Amino acid sequence: MVLERLGRSPRVVSAPPPRRIALTDALGEYADRSESDSAEDDDWFPKPIPITIPLGSSQELVKLFHDQKPDNPNLPPLLLPEYDKEEATDEQSVSGSEEQRGRGRGAPAPDVAQPARPRFDRSMLMRGTLTVPRSDYTETFTVWWDASSGAARVDFFDGATSTYRVVLPDGHVQGVEMHVDRTEEFDVLRCVQTAPRRAAPPDRAPPALPDLDLFSFGGYTETPQGRAERWKLTAAGRGGELGGVRGEALTFRHELLLVRAPDNYTAVPLQYTVSVDSSVLGYNVEGYEFRYQELRYETPDPALLQPNTADVCEELSQTDKIEVVEPLREYTMPYRDPRYDAELIRLKTKFYRQYSDDVEEALRKTLLIGASRFISAANRQSGPSLLEVNFLADRLEAEQRLLLGAGEAPGPSSAEAAPTSQRRARRDAERLPRNFDWRRHGAVTPVRFQGSCSSCWAFAVVGAVEGALFLRTSRLVPLSEQDLIDCAHPYGGHGCSGTWPRAAYDYIQDQGLRALDEYLPYEAKVLQCAARQTRPVTHISGHVNVTRNSELALKAAIRRNGPNVVLVDGQSKGFIYHKKGVLYDNRCKKRSRNHAVLAVGWGERRGESFFVVKNSWSSNWANEGYGWLHAPSNTCGVLTEPSYPVLRDPDVDRLPRESSSTDPAPPLSSSPAPPVAPVPQRSKRTSRRRYRLSLP
């Protein structure tokens, strides 16, 4: 539980002052909100902006949106090791407790008269689940609510995160959120609280239940729990109202199913669903469902509702984001949470987004809302990794797949046999350090961005050759991905389409690889091959497929041969929105092998290893372009298909002038390149100057 005492004094972290935003009067009490997540308040840093190109017209994008299907919305956002899938599936198949089912069948209300409007005005303990299908997850929650004061507590994922609504003696309300941060070497209990505020009606209502004063009776329906009442609300707005963008009219359809206790008055909720229709995107573009598995009307122990931040929290910070301390509130609002207006502005400003028309803006906002909900729920799991909203949060899955370029294996491998057996790897394990990273030794070039071109295969192989060349020459020479994209077709390369890394290895072995600033600049598309106009910097003698599913073999291969190419599942939301910590997620598939990245080293956290991977999605992904993948669990398949190039001394053709390895690419010039002195015919028997770098 989050409230376990850790025995240390809190460290108070100040927050930036809140920024008020104006919202439409149509939202009533829900519009009185403070926001500090605007672009002006964000931490800005000079990063290259990753530009992504839409796949087609607005109407084509809408069709792709409706073609998207969730993978498994009954699972939690991240499948952590302690999660028992079978147990959770059984639990989610039950709508209401045994007590609820008995009550529902015992005394159904008569058909001849409308039942009395239900009231949730008694203190309660409630357990349930929230499923958001388009965001592809389910989260569990437990609510304690005191009806006399309005104080409440909600535990998410069995107490991984707890939120509190504290009612102060003067009647003001303060929100508190507590969670254990497991992204560092040691657990840290972090707490966030809001400033006291005057209580509005939602600040007194029970969490996870809608305000039924707005609903009307819609008849009866048969359920496994007996005959249930249907209470419905339809909220329709005009263009730009209720959370829609300009020109978009939204319609929210709410339905609550409940049964009555034997007294024909006490209401027991079973299920609450919301679906959203858009005038420009179509039907059911957004939706979610509460399933109430247990409800007991009882007064909670007052100690359960007191967070006691002074004694428990190790870090205490301030926030004015109500969604942090009341995560379930947006799902019981009659309309869309107005904070997403500011979220969209922030994303558009940060990543220089320009949408073609109102239809695309409506689509992008809907996608952003879905991504934000997934990320927030995943972070409430308090796992070893943290997710964040990044430049892919408003992109369709089809657009995200453009970044995945590892194709199917074309047939028998031309790789050399792996020189490191499992027995030798185990013997060498004692010699391997706990932490090793080629970035610290100068063998890794800066993170680059592949753009809307499925060329990750080229970026990963180029990075591996750059590292291998550094080991031979002590020079870090940036090499050209465009060379591979343009020219590797005869060897099985498919340019901006899925390509197995072997095509890149075979091309470099036969034709060599050119320097980044001597070949055509990267344009995220296939150009006419210009390899004959520039001499290569290096060839390779071949490549090696590292022993599969062996943590020790991959570590040894990285240590001896430089960064390795690894193939991972880049389509998992946990991977896409990864920010920091060690990603440990069994929803990230081990055998998908759809994305190529570069393993540049490894580390250890809490006694378990992780691999450091360099991505080609710009420094706006994860930690400046680098992520950590849990090694023992083979998260995302990092151990499934590793490989590295074999680069020997005779393979080095030449080293460009020193500035080629350090300076950015010069501007293009129409003047011819200066003549280059001829070099001997490449041969393994040719006498060459021997370059050697001692391993650190």
- Structure confidence at residue 36 as a pLDDT band (50, 70, 90): very low
For residue 530, the one-letter residue type is A
Q: Are 324 and 177 in contact (CB under 8 A)?
A: yes
Q: Is 64 helix (H, G, I), strand (E, B) or coil?
A: helix
- Structure confidence at residue 226 as a pLDDT band (50, 70, 90): confident
Tokens 């080095």 map to which residue?
A: 652
H or E segment to which residue 486 belongs = helix 481-487
3-state secondary structure 577-620: CEEEEEECCCCCCCCCCCEEEEEEEEEEECCEEEEEEECCECCC
Catalytic residues: 456, 595, 615
Q: Are 351 and 619 in contact (CB under 8 A)?
A: no
Number of CB atoms found within 10 A of residue 425's CB: 21
Taking each helix axis from N to C end, the angle separating 339-350 and 358-380, rounded to the nearest 10 degrees, works out to 100
Q: Is 129 helix (H, G, I), strand (E, B) or coil?
A: strand
What pLDDT does 429 receive?
65
CA 675 to chain centre: 49
Structure-block tokens of residue 475: 């020079």
Tokens 């301030």 map to which residue?
A: 318
Residue that wins the pLDDT comparison between 35 and 253: 253
CATH topology for the 404-661 domain: Cathepsin B; Chain A (3.90.70)
Q: What is the pLDDT of residues 516-553, one digit of tens each?
A: 999 999 999 999 999 999 999 999 999 999 999 999 99
Q: Are 245 and 272 in contact (CB under 8 A)?
A: no
Q: Are 636 and 583 in contact (CB under 8 A)?
A: yes
How many Å apart are CA 181 and CA 516, to the nearest integer? 41
- Structure confidence at residue 114 as a pLDDT band (50, 70, 90): confident
How many Å apart are CA 75 and CA 83, to the nearest integer? 10
Structure-block tokens of residue 280: 């420009």
Q: Are 644 and 508 in contact (CB under 8 A)?
A: no
pLDDT at 676 over 80: no
Q: Is 460 helix (H, G, I), strand (E, B) or coil?
A: helix
What pLDDT does 688 receive?
38
CA 560 to chain centre: 33
Q: CA 243 → CA 94, 235, 579, distances in Å?
A: 33, 12, 28
Percent of the chain with pLDDT over 90: 76
Structure-block tokens of residue 659: 């500035």
| CB within 8 Å of 470: residues ≥ 6 apart | 442, 443, 476, 477, 562, 693
Q: Are 54 and 356 in contact (CB under 8 A)?
A: yes
Structure-block tokens of residue 515: 């320097």
| CB within 8 Å of 338: residues ≥ 6 apart | 21, 23, 24, 27, 30, 31, 33, 243
Residue that wins the pLDDT comparison between 691 and 198: 198
H or E segment to which residue 155 belongs = strand 152-156
Helix spans in 257-357 (H): 309-312, 322-325, 339-350
Q: Is 629 helix (H, G, I), strand (E, B) or coil?
A: strand
Q: Are 576 and 397 in contact (CB under 8 A)?
A: no
Structure-block tokens of residue 631: 């090694």
* Entry pTM: 0.86
Could you give the angle at the alpha carbon of 97 between the alpha carbons of 95 and 101, nearest 5°?
A: 80
- Homologous superfamily, domain 11-342+350-385: Lipoprotein localisation LolA/LolB/LppX (2.50.20.10)
Q: Is 564 helix (H, G, I), strand (E, B) or coil?
A: strand
CA 498 to chain centre: 23
How many Å apart are CA 610 and CA 602, to the nearest integer? 6
Kindly report the length of the chain: 696
What pLDDT does 416 receive?
73
For the chain, domain boundaries: 11-342+350-385, 404-661
How many Å apart are CA 231 and CA 556, to the nearest integer? 63
Number of CB atoms found within 10 A of residue 262's CB: 10
Tokens 């906002």 map to which residue?
A: 365
How many Å apart are CA 667 and CA 553, to the nearest integer? 43
| CB within 8 Å of 290: residues ≥ 6 apart | 128, 129, 130, 208, 269, 271, 272, 273, 331
- Structure confidence at residue 396 as a pLDDT band (50, 70, 90): very high
CA 552 to chain centre: 28
For 226: left if phi > 0, alpha if psi spans -120 to 50, otherwise beta; the answer is left
- Structure confidence at residue 576 as a pLDDT band (50, 70, 90): very high
What pLDDT does 55 receive?
79
Nearest to 457, CA basis, from 415, 414, 512, 507 = 507
Structure-block tokens of residue 288: 């979610």
Averaged pLDDT, 350-379: 97
Q: Which long-range contacts (CB under 8 A, 24 or more apart) does 657-663 make?
A: 660/477, 660/478, 660/515, 660/516, 660/517, 660/518, 661/475, 661/476, 661/477, 661/478, 662/476, 663/517
Averaged pLDDT, 657-663: 56
Q: Mean pLDDT check: name the lowest of 232-241, 259-268, 336-345.
A: 259-268
What DSSP line would sit under 183-199, residue for residue?
SSSS-EEEEEEPPPBPP
> How large is the C-alpha radius of gyration of the chain?
29
Q: What is the pLDDT of residues 251-305, one digit of tens each?
A: 999 999 999 988 888 999 999 999 999 999 999 999 999 999 999 999 999 999 9
| CB within 8 Å of 627: residues ≥ 6 apart | 575, 578, 583, 597, 612, 613, 615, 621
Averaged pLDDT, 444-468: 97
For residue 26, the one-letter residue type is A
| CB within 8 Å of 2: residues ≥ 6 apart | 155, 159, 160, 161, 162, 178, 179, 180, 189, 382
H or E segment to which residue 422 belongs = helix 422-428
Which DSSP category does 415 fall into? P
What pLDDT does 264 receive?
81
Q: Mean pLDDT check: name the lowest of 144-148, 586-590, 643-647, 661-665.
A: 661-665
Q: What is the pLDDT of residues 300-330, one digit of tens each?
A: 999 999 999 999 999 999 999 999 999 999 9
